[in-house]
Structures are given as structure tokens and as C-alpha cells.
Amino acid sequence: MSDLSAALALPTNLLTAGAPQSPEQLAKRANIRKTAEDFEASFLSIMLQEMFDEVEVAAPFGGGQGEQMFKSFLSDAMAKQMVKGGGVGLSDTVAKEMLKLQGLEE
């Protein structure tokens, strides 16, 4: 294998790049990725709740205590789907900084 093809075969993802990892480091990286994605989902959920706060839905399809109660669940579900679809890029930045704080290579 030539040097160029070896370089192209290396992963470009920040969470998996570098030298071979121990199982503990791989588990820590996976945990960091999940934590960063959860943080992004929480951030997006709060943004969506603020966005939908002033939205009024006319009867018979909305209104009442039930709508107010379940609006937060809808915002959470929408935020999680946004993160699954790629999000807004916040989780990548958070994960990168968390890796630095843990002393792991990027």
C-alpha cells in the first residue's frame, strides 16, 4: 500500500481519528459523542419551545391544558429528530472541546 493510499484510508471523523484506541478510550469517545448530542438536543428543544410559545392553535385542533402540557414533549421529539438528521453542528464543537478536556487526541 502506498503512502497516499494509506493516508486516504485513515478516518476523518474527530472522534475516531488517530492511533488505535483501547476499548476504554473508545467507550469514552462514544460517551462524549452521546453527551454532546444530548446537549444539542436540549439546546434545540429550548429554542423550539420559545419559538412555539406564542403560537395559538384554534379549536377544535388545539387549546386547553392538554396542549400546554404536551407542547414540551413535541419540542423534545422534534429536537431529537433534528440532531439525528445532523443538527446545527453544535454537537461536533462540544464533542471536540470535551475531547480536549479529557486529554484525548482529536
The Cα 99–Cα 79 span in angstroms is: 24
87 touches 33 (CB < 8 A): no
Q: Does pLDDT of 64 surpass 80?
A: no
Share of the chain above pLDDT 70, in %: 78
Per-residue pLDDT reduced to its tens digit, 91-106: 999 999 998 888 876 6
Alpha carbon 78 to its chain's center: 12
pLDDT value, residue 60: 73
Nearest-CA neighbor of 99 among 19, 26, 7, 2?
26
How distant, in Å, are the alpha carbons of 7, 14, 18, 26, 37 from that of 2? 9, 24, 19, 28, 37
| For the chain, domain boundaries | 20-102
